Structure 1
Amino acid sequence: MLARPLLGTTLAHQIHCAKDTGIPTWAGGNDVHKKTVWIGVELKDGGDIVNLTDANTKFPANMVSFLKGGEALLHEAERYLEMKPDIVPRCSVKLLSPITNPEKVVCVGLNYKDHCAEQNRPLPPEPLIFSKFPSSIIGDGESIVIPKISNSVDWEVELGVVIGKSGKHIEAKTALDHVAGYTVAHDVSARDWQLQRNGQQCLLGKTFDTFCPLGPALITKESLTNPHNLRLRCFVNNKLMQDSCTAQLVFKIEECIEWISQFVTLEPGDVILTGSPPGSGGFRNPPEYMKPGDTVTCEIEGIGRITNPVVAEDDNPSMK
């Protein structure tokens, strides 16, 4: 494995990048002019990219399929990098979500101690699980759309965990063997539909189109010394709204995987959103929510940041 590889996919280009350590990073991308989709390796943060998909028919055009290839396909990609392959200029690609069309997006609620304290709620005795539809996923720079039928759309920065190896009834002690890597996630939430409508079940309030920005890359687990000691922050219009650390997790990544895999088989490409720290708008006094024209940035130490503009549904052509 590379020291700090990043995994990703791109629309005009699905790309994912690692920090500038002088070591290549896994990325996914496509050519802006040709409008093709591929995965690849970004040579440094913000640097040029190696197109894997066009190099060899062994390399698929999406990250879920790449992850299903397991360690053998990853090592094949590493060998290709050693051959001084053709490099695509970074300016000619567009970064997409690192994962598109996973089988599952599983979320953990009330999983930060300081978030529970913010609400004067006890720590949950077991992980609280809900889900988002994969259709809610967008990438860095794409627009978060405020639905016509909601007036309380909120922000929540989260650490996203991407599964690399399938498993059922996974034990906590081996759970990280099933992890491919990590990404920045934004659990956009319509509080009215989450907490007041639909019988107070989470699904509808969590899974509107565009409600799951992911990116900017999928950084492999080997790249992070300790995923349970990462600062994570959220900014709205450059104003700091959330600022905490993954050390505040109630249930660590291994525990979440163990719990979730009792109920469903986790598959390569599945995404787990591990919970949000305090500071989201719905728990402020008075409450604050996203509005068209806002810009929201979520960042996690060692992974990167994603920034998404906020638009009204009527102003978004793809929703018409």
Structure 2
Amino acid sequence: MRLANLAGRAVLLVDGGAVDVERLTDGKFGPDIRSVLDNWAVFRAEVADVAIDRAERTPYGPADLGTPVPEPRQIFAVGLNYADHAAESNVPAPEFPLIFTKFQSSLAGPATPVSLPSEGVDFEAELVVVIGKETYQVAESDAWSCVAGLTVGQDLSERAVQGRGPVPQFSLGKSFPGFSPCGPAVVSLDEVPHPDDLAIRGWIGDEVLQESRTKELIFSVPELVAYLSGVCTLYPGDLIFTGTPAGVGMGRVPQRFLRPGETLMTEIEGLGRLEIPLEQGCPTSA
């Protein structure tokens, strides 16, 4: 199952187009995404008994899709969660997950243009976890049962703002408009045979920027869900950006940041692709 956001309505992406959830379920779910994720298990059971192959399809393109979870209650992100990225950042691998937040206003769709506020915007290809039920103090062994699905994300970062002050301010530097693109859909776990080991790749044109596998995460998805739920109550639709592998622009010699006119591509095996056009924006006043 691939749950997506088409013109603000919950849809399922299938061969030949998008199926509207509200019409498919005779109004039991939808049109908003929250109504689906808040009742994820019931929705999955309901749709299993519906003949989707006979449902009406709406054609769409990547630019027609919005962020698949437009109103998460919480957005968590994890820093330095690949050993090679920690090494290129000249810091030791963390003993515990390094957690920060991103703000809802930074969310964007899988092909939404992003205006660059400076010449120091960096790229971070990431696997994003979508929580599927209210969760508190879950054991690592049970953590996958709390996940609705996975999607592709980018944790774009304005490095000057991120680095200001006596300590870095991760959240602000990573929350400009469009700095949290996700999509194209929330892919349910039954469609991901090996969710702990997915190829992840980011590139611009012929230039490969990042390439790794999610098995290289220092803290796996179950570890992150267990760790976060040990402190916070997690809610359906919450997002967890799980971290990025090596290759970020700040860690390169010479450094390589995003430029207007480029298209940033990000792909994760079995989940889909982001195609983010980059535009010249107004200089940041932050």
What is the Cα deviation at residue 242 of structure 1?
0.4
Figure out how many residues of one structure are paired with residues of the other and give that number.
282
State how far apart, in whole Å, the 2-side matches of 1:70 and 1:306 are: 25
Write out aligned runs for 1:201-280 (5 A).
Answer: 201-280=169-248
Could you say which residue in structure 2 is the equivalent of 1:33? none
The residue identity in structure 2 corresponding to 1:8 is A
Residue 99 of structure 1 corresponds to 69
Query: C-alpha separation between the residues in 1 aligned to 2:61 and 2:130?
Result: 27
TM-superposed deviation, 1:256: 0.5
Query: TM-score, with normalisation over the residues of structure 2?
Result: 0.93
Matched, 1:52 2:21: yes
Contact 2:62 2:110 in 1 (8 A): no
In structure 2, the CA distance between the partners of 1:154 and 1:73, relative to structure 1 (3 Å rule), is same
Q: Is the 8 A contact 2:157 2:174 kept in 1?
A: yes
Give CA-to-partner distance per residue, 1:29-54, whole Å, 9 cap, x none.
Answer: xxxxxxxx32222222xx22222223
Task: Say yes or no: does 1:39 pair with 2:10.
Answer: yes
The Cα of 1:86 is off from its aligned counterpart by 2.5
Q: How does 1:17-166 map to 2 (within 5 A)?
A: 37-44=8-15, 47-55=16-24, 56-81=26-51, 84-90=54-60, 94-147=64-117, 150-166=118-134
Residue in 2 that maps onto 1:22: none
| CA RMSD after TM alignment | 2.0
Q: Which runs of 5+ in 1 are unaligned?
A: 12-36, 316-320
* TM-score between the two structures when normalised by the length of structure 1: 0.83
The match for 1:6 is: 2
User: Please, which runs of 5 or more residues in structure 2 have no aligned partner?
Assistant: none
Shift of 1:254: 0.6
Secondary structure of the residue that 1:124 maps to in structure 2?
coil
Deviation at 1:84, TM superposition (A): 2.4
Change over 3 Å in CA distance of 1:233–1:92 after alignment to 2: closer
3-state SS of the aligned residue for 1:161? strand
Residue 40 of structure 1 aligns to which amino acid in structure 2? V
Task: Give the conservation status (yes or no) of the 8 Å contact 1:230–1:300.
Answer: yes
In 2, are the aligned partners of 1:52 and 1:77 still within 8 Å (CA)? no
C-alpha spacing 1:136/1:91, structure 2 compared with 1 (3 Å): closer
Q: CA offset at residue 92 of structure 1?
A: 11
Give the direction of change, closer, same or farther, for the CA distance of 1:153–1:198 in structure 2 (3 Å limit): farther
Change beyond 3 A, Cα 1:243–1:51: same
CA distance in 2, matches of 1:252, 1:90: 34
Q: Structure 2: which amino acid aligns with 1:54? A: R
| Residue 90 of structure 1: how far off its partner (Å) | 3.9
State which of 293, 296, 299 in structure 1 corresponds to 2:261. 293
CA distance in 1, matches of 2:272, 2:40: 25
* Partner amino acid, structure 1, of 2:94: P
SS in 2 for 1:80: coil
| Structure 1 residue 74, shift from structure 2 partner | 2.0
Query: More relative contact order in 1 or in 2 (CA 8 Å, sep 6+)?
Result: 2
What are the superposed Cα offsets for residues 171-217 of structure 1, whole Å, 9 maximum, x if unpaired?
A: 11111110000000000001111123474221110111110000111
Distance 2:51 2:218 in 1: 40
Would the aligned equivalents of 1:62 and 1:100 in 2 still touch at CA under 8 Å?
Answer: no
d(CA) in 2 for partners of 1:62, 1:132? 22
Q: Counterpart in 1 of 2:151?
A: 183
